[in-house]
Chain A
């Protein structure tokens, strides 16, 4: 249970995703992800392929493992079994003498550079202005010259509609504004894959729209994204694929129309009906 082995070491339970070895040509290819906390399996064999420009929306009941799944994809959480490839390269692990071993922190950090992550609670840096929140990683991580990075950051803030808030600290911004700065901050690293963990669920209802609008624009721009959200409006209009998580496995997946109108599982129907009422 310590290090991930190949995808076929153990039978995969309740699995509906891709089979066969991980696909190195996909933006993301995950196979047989297993994650346990204190002996309890939170992910129980999750596999997923995401191609360039694809938008995948993940839904599922609270506690079904959606957050854990996203966190494992950029190794904020280790995995016990399985394999994750982003652009054909393993995340978090490398070949050891007889099995996979965890990478050093430095190498893990390098792998995360092109995977953007947007948190439920924004996690902006409170001691930096909005502009510096966006510019800091390009400068410090990528070595982009300061003036250039700030120029790009200003453009990104404009893109999320916050050009006028460049010099504001996060503490004076509304939740919706903070989340848009957080999206700009992730975009500044020019990620090939963006992960969103319930980006609107910590927001007051009247601020959800502004964040969803920004995300839809990113979809237009062709960004590859995995979005955990219960905003069914977004899923309907933007998702290529809807994935239903349940108890650590992918219960079923398909086009938003298919899952919303004619799902294979009663649980999917019941769940989507419930959240769509509120979404």
Chain B
């Protein structure tokens, strides 16, 4: 367990060391870059797995079999009802302490996949899947019922209807909240410090314990988190543009200022209240 007591250090008041700040910002140490790299790849892998697992859960929740619907609902309830921090400790430390399962380092090719990284990716993905399931479910629900009926009338099976008609349309609705989720994911990785994973936050903390430059080093870390989320916001906008219906003129996307400062409704929407554009519903069945 990492030492998270930062207060003790702040007793040392020495003013802001600009040269230290600039030095670490412009030429960060190898360990810092390694932490940054871990933050990035853990976020990407966990988010990708979370989307896939979330899709499975969302489909289970829409299944015609009650058992699957119930299972999907229970999953979302359980995962969203408990803090990620608690889940991390339970999976990595709890399971080992209870003698149920201990995550051990696994050699893959020339590299070693750390046990703690396995636990981190697994927990983040499982956690993320619950939120993604809700987002995907809401997106599927937002699609006009007439779409399903048109597909059915053409002889499409339920799975074909899902793949050919519903998911492609849901994708466009899913991307904005998905981008939001990935933004949160990158920041959530800082919680991994609690299980001793040397990602960017814990690296900064180690440097802090060695140098006592608390403000400077965490400001550097903040700058790097900001850089990650900013780059991502551009990638996200690019993807949204790609997916926009070329037939319709897309509404002007949020301006750079809105994107960075969160001008629309003040910041990213809280998770769970998936911001899904509820389309105007053409009455599912036709009024006479």
B287 to chain A, nearest CB (A): 8
- Of A62, A76, A137, A140, which contacts B288 at CB under 8 A? A62
Chain B contacts with A in 51-102, Cβ cutoff 8 A: 64
B246 x A106 contact (CB < 8 A): no
Chain A contacts with B in 206-250, Cβ cutoff 8 A: none
B104 at the A/B interface (Cβ < 8 Å)? no
Contacts of B288 in A (CB 8 A): 62-63, 66-67, 198
B154 x A112 contact (CB < 8 A): yes
B175 to chain A, nearest CB (A): 13
Residue of B nearest to A185 (CB): B154
Q: Which stretch from B9-17, B118-126, B161-169 is at the chain A interface?
A: B161-169
Contacts of B147 in A (CB 8 A): 123, 125
Question: Considering the chains assembled together, what is the distance between the CA atoms of A123 and B145 in angstroms?
Answer: 9
Q: Given A125-B150, A127-B169, A140-B164, answer yes or no on A109-B155 (Cβ-Cβ < 8 Å).
A: yes
B265 at the A/B interface (Cβ < 8 Å)? no
Interface residues on A, range: 35 or more
Question: Considering the chains assembled together, what is the distance between the CA atoms of A127 and B164 in angstroms?
Answer: 10
Contacts of B1 in A (CB 8 A): none
Contacts of A106 in B (CB 8 A): 157
Using an 8 Å CB-CB cutoff, how does the interface string of A96-122 with B read, 1 for contact, 0 for none? Answer: 000000000110011011011101110
Chain B contacts with A in 121-148, Cβ cutoff 8 A: 144, 146-147
A189 at the A/B interface (Cβ < 8 Å)? yes
Residue of B nearest to A117 (CB): B153
In the complex, besides A127-B172, A169-B247, 5 extra interface pairs with C-beta distance below 8 angstroms are: A119-B149, A119-B286, A123-B146, A140-B156, A168-B247
Where the two chains meet, the residues of B that have a C-beta atom closer than 8 Å to any C-beta of A are: 64, 144, 146-147, 149-158, 160, 164-165, 168-169, 172, 245-248, 282, 285-286, 288
A-B contact pairs, 27 of them (CB 8 A): A66-B288, A74-B153, A76-B149, A105-B64, A109-B156, A112-B152, A113-B155, A117-B153, A119-B146, A120-B286, A121-B146, A121-B286, A123-B150, A125-B165, A125-B169, A126-B245, A127-B169, A136-B164, A140-B156, A140-B160, A169-B246, A170-B247, A171-B248, A172-B247, A172-B248, A186-B154, A189-B154
Going nearest first, the 3 A-B pairs with the smallest beta carbon separation are: A169-B247, A113-B155, A62-B288
Where the two chains meet, the residues of A that have a C-beta atom closer than 8 Å to any C-beta of B are: 62-63, 66-67, 71, 74, 76, 105-106, 109-110, 112-113, 115-117, 119-121, 123-127, 136-137, 140-141, 168-172, 182, 185-186, 189, 197-198
